[in-house]
Structure 1
């Protein structure tokens, strides 16, 4: 999948004394310099301050993933359980419980699925988001997130390598798409998020591969006015802003 390049002057790691050991691990993983002399030369700063881990860009916009602080609505109150559209689309009424999320992103949908009682395995291709997610899962005090299995990798390659090796009931896919509204920028987290991950130019190939897996359903999250990612949608569960296109496999 296509993502913004992170080499060269794209990202550095910055740490205080308390976070130095953890920062060394992530600097090696991200192949980024640690505490460089001229941090202003790097567009993204991956910051480790004690137990807190976050990303800030040169325009001072912040991206932080913390499931317990809940600033991104990770703990949804008053949800409708099995009557949630995403649960219906994934086949909860048909016994689907084990979900493979091919594009974890900031983890908002993945965490919600665990809150609804699903067992979730997630894949994230952005090394920066994977690092932020890993730290968030390690820190969380929420018991229902302890069993979450997070993998780093490209979704298409993950599907090819792991077909038949995982016990999965349904697959969930929320591909990034080009942001066409230039007049109203989303909140700062989404701006940094889009800058980091770009958009998924091979989304249709990922979906094609997902449809070869021995699962009940593959569900693709789409904007309401967007066209189907591939023909063959069996049913769409429509909300006010997004819909869930369901492909029935088995």
Structure 2
């Protein structure tokens, strides 16, 4: 029998997601949102699981042996220039967001998928990691957020990791990524988001790209290249 707390939580998220609690015919819904005493997770119709839990660390949230300020992502975001307050425009599974917080950045995140936002919100509230307690998460479309919040929050650098279309459909990633891609789709407005981000009063805007992908927009000042990804840096002002 569900606890009273779990039931209240289920009713809250059902209202937020505009879906019923315990529907009579579950097959009518592609995604199923589960709330248990100590877990919140999603399964699709094929029973593939997506769970976000920063303390269980199954998605490598607690990276060991990192190089601190020498990490490429930290260099790209301007750690040497004193940049500390970061706006993450596409939180997703929060792997990069959490890593940035672990590196000492103060991160504000934006997520537009309501299901992912719900999973993230629960994970941030549940975590025992002190450095994640200051994380601020918004539910919003990135483009709308940039237009509405310009000049209202203090940010040093903006980080953007748009979904990149995968060409090899047969080479499916592990189950979390399958569900994740189904939830978020493609970022068809990525170029528009970047254009708007470049109007913000920040030091730099960083876009994460696959290593050999084209630039999202021309004007990259410097590209920090890793083995499989690179960080394209646009200097503002």
- Report the Cα offset of residue 59 of structure 1: 0.7
Task: Name the SS for the 2:119 alignment partner.
Answer: helix
Does 2:109 match 1:122?
yes
Distance 1:100 1:110 in 2: 9
- Matched with 2:55 is 68
Task: Give SS of 2:163's match.
Answer: coil
Counterpart pick for 2:89 among 102, 110, 115:
102
Which of 26, 36, 51 does residue 23 from structure 2 map onto? Answer: 36
Structure 1 residue 33, shift from structure 2 partner: 1.1
- SS for the counterpart of 1:17 is coil
Q: Which residue of 2 aligns with 1:249?
A: 236
What do the CA deviations read for 1:104-153 (whole angstroms, capped 9, x no partner)?
00000000000000000000000000000000000000000000000000
Q: Decide which moves more: 65-74 or 31-40.
A: 31-40
TM-score by length of 1: 0.93
> Partner of 2:165 in structure 1?
178
Which secondary structure does the structure 2 equivalent of 1:99 belong to?
strand
Using structure 2 for the length normalisation, give the TM-score.
0.98
Distance 1:226 1:34 in 2: 43
**Ranges of 4+ aligned residues in structure 1 off by more than 6 Å:** none
SS in 1 for 2:209: strand
Q: Confirm whether residue 134 of structure 1 aligns to residue 114 of structure 2.
A: no
Instruction: Please give the per-residue CA displacement for 1:202-224, whole angstroms capped at 9, x wherever unaligned.
Output: 00000000000000000000011
Q: Shift of residue 102 of structure 1?
A: 0.2
Q: Deviations over 1:84-118 (max 9, x none)?
A: 00000000000000000000000000000000000
CA RMSD between the two structures: 0.7
Name stretches of at least 5 consecutive residues in structure 2 with no aligned partner. Answer: none
> Where do 1:204-243 residues align within 5 Å?
204-243=191-230
